[in-house]
Amino acid sequence: MNKIPVIIDCDPGVDDTLALMLAHQMEELDIKAITTVAGNAPIAYTFRNGRNVMDYIGAQVPVYKGAEKPLLRTLQTAAHIHGEDGMGGVVLPASKQSVESEAAWDAIHRIAAEEKGELTLIAVGPMTNIAIALSKYEDMKDLIKRIVIMGGAAIGGNVTPCAEFNIYEDPEAAEMMFTSGIPVYMCGLDVTMEAYMSRAEIEKLMALGSKEAKLFHDVEQKALAFYDEMGRPGVALHDPTAVLFAAYPELFQGEWCGVHVETKGKITSGKTVTDLYSDKQFDTHNTFIVTKVDREAFVQKIFDLMANY
Ligand code: RIB
Ligand code: CA
C-alpha cells in the first residue's frame, strides 16, 4: 500500500489527542511531523501536550512549535472543554524527546518540498501556521497536495451562532488557506456533530484495556459532561473526523463548492460562507465540504484502531 505522507497541525486539545492516537494506528498514513499552534490552550501547553502525547503512545515523530497567537487577533482559548492546560485534567509524563527548534511553518515547507508535492496537511486547530507558511514561502501553495481540516460549518457554529472555533480564532488565516488554490476538504460541524460517541461507547472502548484506551476515555470526560448538558447523544469527535476522513473517505459524503471566510462581520466574524446551498456563484469551487458520516462504521473504525494498542 502507498502510505499517504501527512503532517498533523493541531492545538491539543482533548479531541486533538484522540486524533493523534488514532492517526498513529492508521497504516494508510505516514505521519512525517506534528506541528502545534495556540488555540484550545496557549502554545506552551499545546506544544507540550503534542510532545507528551506522541511520546506516551510511542510514536517516533518530531513535534514542532508554531504560532502563539492568531495573525491579527488576540488568542481565545477553550478551557471549558479542554481545561486550562488543554488535557482535560489528565497529566501525562513529560516527553523525553529532544526539543525541535525549527518553527512549525518552516518544518511544513521543508517536509512538503521533501515529499515533492504529495503531502497531505491535516489541520485540526486554527489555521495560523498554514497562513504563515503560505505567506513566507511563495511555492508553498504548489507543494501541498490537499489540506484536510476540522473547521467551519456550512450551517451553524459553536463559538457564535455562525462560527466554529478553529475558524473563529483566526478568520484571516482561514481565508488565506481557502483562497490559496490548494484543494481543501472541510470536516466542519455539519459532519462532526454527527460523528459522536456516546458515554456508553466510550466506556466500552476503555474496556479494551490499554493505557491509550484509558487516555481516550479520561481526556473526554469534561467534554462529555458539556455535551450531556447540551442534551446531545454523545460527544462530537471533531478532530478524529478529519484524520479518519483523510484515511477512510469512503465513510463520508460531501460536495465540492466555494468557501470564503467572513473577516469583517460584527456578529458573523469567522463564518465559513459557502455557496453549497445556493447558486454556486463563488469564483472558485476548490473546497469539498463533508456533510455526512456513516456513524456506525466511524465508531467501529475507532474501536478497530484503538484495539491495536
Ligand atoms: O470546533 C472544534 C474544534 O475546536 C476542534 O478542533 C477542537 O479541538 C477545537 O480546536
Ligand atoms: Ca483542535
All cell numbers assigned to 282: 463563488
DSSP state of 267: S
Mean pLDDT score, 77-83 = 93
pLDDT band at 202 (very low <50, low <70, confident <90, very high): very high
- CATH architecture, range 4-306: Alpha-Beta Complex (3.90)
Q: Does 217 qualify as catalytic in the annotation?
A: no
**Residue 143 predicted with pLDDT over 90:** yes
**Residue 283 predicted with pLDDT over 90:** no
Taking only the tens place, the pLDDT of each residue in 24-62 is 999 999 999 999 999 999 999 999 999 999 999 999 999
Average pLDDT, the chain: 97
Torsions phi, psi of 119, nearest 5? -75, 135
Q: What is the value of pTM for the model shown?
A: 0.98
Q: Nearest CA to 125 among 19, 222, 218, 200?
A: 19
For 208-250, list the strands marked E by DSSP: 235-236
Domain chopping of the chain, boundaries: 4-306
CB contact at 8 A, 77 and 39: yes
pLDDT of residue 1: 84
Tell me the CA end-to-end span of the chain in Å, nearest whole number: 21
**Residue 306 predicted with pLDDT over 90:** yes
Q: Which of 80, 238, 260, 285 is catalytic?
A: 238
Residues recorded for the chain? 309
What 178-183 contacts at long range (C-beta under 8 Å, 24+ apart), as own/partner pairs, is 178/259, 178/260, 178/261, 178/272, 178/287, 179/260, 179/284, 180/134, 180/140, 180/141, 181/141, 181/284, 181/286, 182/141, 182/144, 182/146, 182/147, 182/286, 183/145, 183/146, 183/147, 183/286, 183/287, 183/288
pLDDT of residue 305: 98
Which protein residues touch ligand 1 with a CB less than 6 Å away?
A: 11, 13, 15-16, 39-40, 78, 124-125, 150, 158, 164-166, 238-239
